[in-house]
Amino acid sequence: MTTTESDDRAINETNATTLEANLSRIEELTQRLLVAMNPKRHVPTSLQGPSPDLYAKAASAYVTEMMNNPGKIIEQQVAFWGKSVKHYIESQHLLAQGKLAHPVDETAPDRRFAHELWDTNPYFNFIKQQYLMNADAVRDAISAIDTMDDGEKRRLEYFGEQIVDMFSPTNFLATNPEALSLAAETEGESLVAGLENLIRDLEANDGDLVVTLADKEAFEVGRNLATSPGEVVYRNHLFELIQYTPSTEMVHEIPLVIFPPWINKFYILDLKPANSMIKWAVEQGYTVFVVSWVNPDATYRDTSMTNYVEDGYLTAIDQVKSICGVKKVNAVGYCIAGTTLSITMALMAQRGDKSINSATLFTTLTDFSDRGEVGVFLDDDFVDGIEAEVAEAGVLDRYYMSRTFSFLRSNDLIYGPAIKSYMLGKAPPAFDLLYWNGDGTNLPAKMSVEYLRGLCQGDNFATSGFDIADTTVRLSEVTVPICAIACETDHIAAWKSSYRGVQGMGSKDKTFILSESGHIAGIINPPSKKKYGHYTNPELGLTPDDWLADADKHEGSWWPRWDAWLAPRSGKQVKARTPGDKNHPVLGPAPGTYVAK
């Protein structure tokens, strides 16, 4: 026997041993998997998908279309059949000629099919092309329905796309060449690692399959996230107030108080020093306060929007005024916190309270006449389910919020990460933004229903008026200087709706900035990155499309432009303030205790 033959035999024996060990490990893990799936959370049917009525209406509309215009339906079907049969025949013809090749592939680039075998292997290319044909056929069928109202049609298009995405061949091991190749190369080790990742996620979530998006061991709030120096200077049942340590000798007289959304935790504004908006604002010479909201449990079931306004916003503003010895503050509200800040300002206007000198709104909706992509989850079928769930639980559990927002970007936040983790056996990345994304919060029962019914569904603030604190407030009552920043591809707060909300405000001094990118990346866009640009146009009487068509495009972050707007509205320069005062002793270092719950 030659040395080469001996080496090959040894390698084969080693590979066989490795494969056998991996198969044995899979058997052990399968038993653990069955145990992990037992305590699965009960998710009400109403929160698992749209009402069956939507699909019943779609089927009825399709049948009506077929009867009224059979030629159009037949044309669509024949076109789909023709493409599919032609594709099959061409593939068979090449194989009959002994050519290991696929027919001409004119499909558009798609990140899901980036692996080279989708283009070079006839089998996988056939599957890819046929899937994309099927997907187009589904879209064409939905598009052809003309007898559904616009809202139902949009929902059908969205949930139809969800079904199409779910059946992508990349989502199944037998039709994912990257996963199969890696399994062969590693003697099944990648599949074992993937199964371990799957079981870990099930065990961590009581039997629910929630994909871990980021390495949880790589980050710790207060250690390498939310590290800007500061102190907690006030605390009540709803929030901790953090005052940040100045980094300049002089500061603007009027302090800046930031209200983040209580749907998430505040440290999106302070992830790392390089992209921390809080750190940047301190460096521009502002006395910065941030509200860190409590993560409510069932004891908060009766906490209302009025509580958030009075015990949250108004209380925080009063504390900041007292600590700094001033009569006014500049306020910032992000997302739902911007909506509630606007409601607070309308209430303050009725009360004659002029404590807010100017307000900045990040990705804020105040006009809900067009709810954008997230609107598909805001019809009665879902909201009725949420109302029933919170009546029983006392809170809207973070699980439902996280799942809803993930499905708005399912390929990026569900299927893509699941493939990498469960099929390829890869560890989740050390990505701070995804870590924050997975660190969600609950919502109080009463507040969540008031928000969904009165604002998202009823659009009351921009129309008939929103009831708060024993009065009714309207969008037109917001009269302080406003700077609103929206994001071009925001899937949560559509920029055109944000723009229409600013148009409806009564302020004479209004500025609107449109940042490139989405709900998070468009806001957390530090100047040093030189990444996303922004648009400006002082003519706010235009339609959103006309506003953008006539807008000036600027390279780089909008942060310096906001600073140029905010600085003249922030008073004279005074000596920098250390956190707290004699009536507000330091309660502990930033980022506080509420953020850890």
**CATH code of the domain covering residue 490:** 3.40.50.1820
Same domain, 173 and 289: no
The answer to the question of residue 429 being in a domain is no
Q: Which of 204, 222, 256 is the last residue of a domain?
A: 204
pLDDT over 80 (residue 539): yes
| Domain extent for 54 | 23-204
State the pLDDT at residue 385: 93
How does residue 514 score in pLDDT terms, banded at 50, 70 and 90? very high
Helices assigned H by DSSP within 253-300: 277-283
The answer to the question of residue 426 being in a domain is no
Q: Which of 324, 335, 483, 487 is catalytic?
A: 335
pLDDT over 50 (residue 11): no
Cα–Cα distance for residue pair 327/325, rounded to 1 Å = 7
Same domain, 548 and 454: yes
Same domain, 471 and 511: yes
Q: What is the pLDDT of residues 363-386, one digit of tens each?
A: 999 999 998 888 889 999 999 999
Active site residue 335: yes
Same domain, 360 and 473: yes
State the pLDDT at residue 135: 95
pTM, entire model:
0.91
How does residue 299 score in pLDDT terms, banded at 50, 70 and 90? very high
Same domain, 375 and 488: yes
The answer to the question of residue 414 being in a domain is no
Same domain, 247 and 176: no
The answer to the question of residue 11 being in a domain is no
Sign of the CA dihedral 534, 537, 542, 547?
negative
Same domain, 113 and 237: no
Cα–Cα distance for residue pair 540/178, rounded to 1 Å = 50
State the pLDDT at residue 51: 82
Closest CA to 73 of 142, 25, 24, 5: 142
Q: What is the pLDDT of residues 175-194, one digit of tens each?
A: 999 999 999 998 889 999 99
Same domain, 162 and 48: yes
Cα–Cα distance for residue pair 365/492, rounded to 1 Å = 9
Same domain, 257 and 191: no
The answer to the question of residue 2 being in a domain is no
Same domain, 463 and 317: yes
Give the DSSP per-residue string, 554-578: E-S-SHHHHHHHHGGGS-SEEEPPP
Q: Which of 188, 204, 220 is the last residue of a domain?
A: 204
The answer to the question of residue 507 being in a domain is yes
Same domain, 160 and 271: no
Total number of domains in the chain: 2
Q: What is the pLDDT of residues 569-594, one digit of tens each?
A: 999 999 999 999 999 999 999 999 99
The answer to the question of residue 416 being in a domain is no
The answer to the question of residue 132 being in a domain is yes
Same domain, 245 and 181: no
Mean pLDDT of all residues belonging to the chain: 91
Q: What is the CA radius of gyration of the chain?
A: 28
Q: Which of 189, 204, 219 is the last residue of a domain?
A: 204
